[in-house]
Amino acid sequence: MPNPNPEMLTVTELARETGITARAIRFYESKGLLKPKRAGTTRVYTHRERGRLQLILRGKRLGFTLTDIGEYLDLYDADPTQQDQIALLLEKVNVRIQELEAQKTDLEVSLKELSNVRDQARMALATKPKRAVG
């Protein structure tokens, strides 16, 4: 049955639209990141909450904590010019880039070590005589 008010979605409809579970949406709500309205006993999510959820999901994809995301969303509500929000975003993004660069360096070192081990193992196999079957 189509939704009579496409501006308002139930948790099930929002979950379907975003590709996450209703449980995840309720979790974000319990953390104060989403604040749905009520239509009787049913939670309904407005265009605003859908946008907030997209920001939450993007923040999670980029590796931000829920605390970081919450701070960002709080500024979104408090500052109509969004200057504070943009400044905080820039600060958090710079920190996250530094963290990822450090992880990248660590991964490159690990890959080099693993390549060396693989090369040594191949050489060891190539120089050992084959076992006779039989």
Query: For residue 9, what is the DSSP state?
Result: B
Amino acid identity at 61: R
Res. 2: pLDDT tops 60: no
* Per-residue model confidence as pLDDT tens digits over 30-72: 999 999 999 889 889 999 999 999 999 999 999 999 999 999 8
pTM as predicted: 0.72
Q: How do residues 70-93 score in pLDDT, each as one tens digit?
A: 998 888 777 777 888 889 889 999
Domain ranges of the chain: 1-61, 79-128
- Among 3.30.420.60, 2.40.10.480, 1.10.760.10, 1.10.1660.10, what is the CATH number of 1-61? 1.10.1660.10
Backbone angles phi, psi at 116, to 5 degrees: -65, -45
> Rounded to 5 degrees, what are φ and ψ at 53?
-65, -40
Sequence-separated (6 or more) residues with CB below 8 Å from residue 39: 8
